[in-house]
Amino acid sequence: MRVLIKNIIKEEVIKEERMVNFDQKSNNFVVIAGGPGAGKSFITKNLINLDNVKEFNVDQVRVMTAKKLWGDKWQEMISTPDGYQKILDMTYTTSDPRNLTVKYLKNFLGTDREQSVNVVYDAGGGQEQVMKDVHKIAKDSGMVTNLVHVRTPLELAQIRNDERPRSLPDDMVAQYHQKVRDNMRNMIPLFDNVWIVDNKELIDLSDRPSDNIEKIK
């Protein structure tokens, strides 16, 4: 079992008690929910205390879809409100018949999946129906469902978003963060286990108390 994780950026060691720890060490489906710039990728790489992890990243599905739609202009188009919404519709919104997230996830969790594998799903969480569908797919596959909600102050999330190669307008970041917060009330009852991670620090974990990670279910 992985007890300590090396944080290369800060050259610090993160102790196990300051991580998201699971009662069951295999066959977990872990949804990482949070708005743009919340720090979901950092949490996934550093604070999820599981071995044998495969990551299903919705951003990769989104980029692949944009490249198919717009070719070399995909980065320009996905940065516009209309273009971004179109990709959301095609990769997140269940009502769209072209939905790709659900299709790829079903294949990802197919019958040839090893039961020892843990799957981390970087979801965002802004699309409630997709979250419900994703949860159902995991449960139907016999997995233990876990929700990790990464909460970050909006101002800090917008700063992080601005530092990305593909940043979103501040108003879009604010709207998505609000959607995630609204959806969590309905998502929490569905999952077997739920954690809240208070990620108000940029990256520095040296002063992060253990109660910044709270298991609420």
Residue 96 has pLDDT above 70, yes or no: no
pLDDT tens, position by position, 145-183: 999 988 888 777 778 777 776 677 787 778 888 888 888
| 21: in domain | no
Q: What is the CATH number of the domain that holds 211?
A: 3.40.50.300
Span of 59-63, 93-97, 119-123 with lowest mean pLDDT: 93-97
Q: What's the confidence (pLDDT) of residue 145?
A: 95
Domain that holds residue 132: 28-215
Q: Is residue 19 part of a domain?
A: no
Q: What is the pLDDT of residues 118-141, one digit of tens each?
A: 999 887 777 788 888 889 989 998
Residue 5 forms part of a structural domain: no
Q: E strands within the chain?
A: 5-7, 12-14, 28-33, 53-57, 118-124, 144-151, 193-198, 213-215
Residue 71, class by beta-carbon neighbours within 10 Å (0-12 exposed, 13-18 middle, 19+ buried)? exposed
Total domains in the chain come to 1
| Closest C-alpha to 213, from 190, 188, 194, 192 | 194
| Range with top average pLDDT, 94-108, 111-125, 140-154, 201-215 | 140-154
Q: In the chain, what percentage of residues exceed pLDDT 90?
A: 13
- Residue 111 pLDDT > 70, yes or no? no
Question: Is 209 contained in some domain?
Answer: yes
Mean pLDDT value across the chain: 76
18 lies in some domain: no
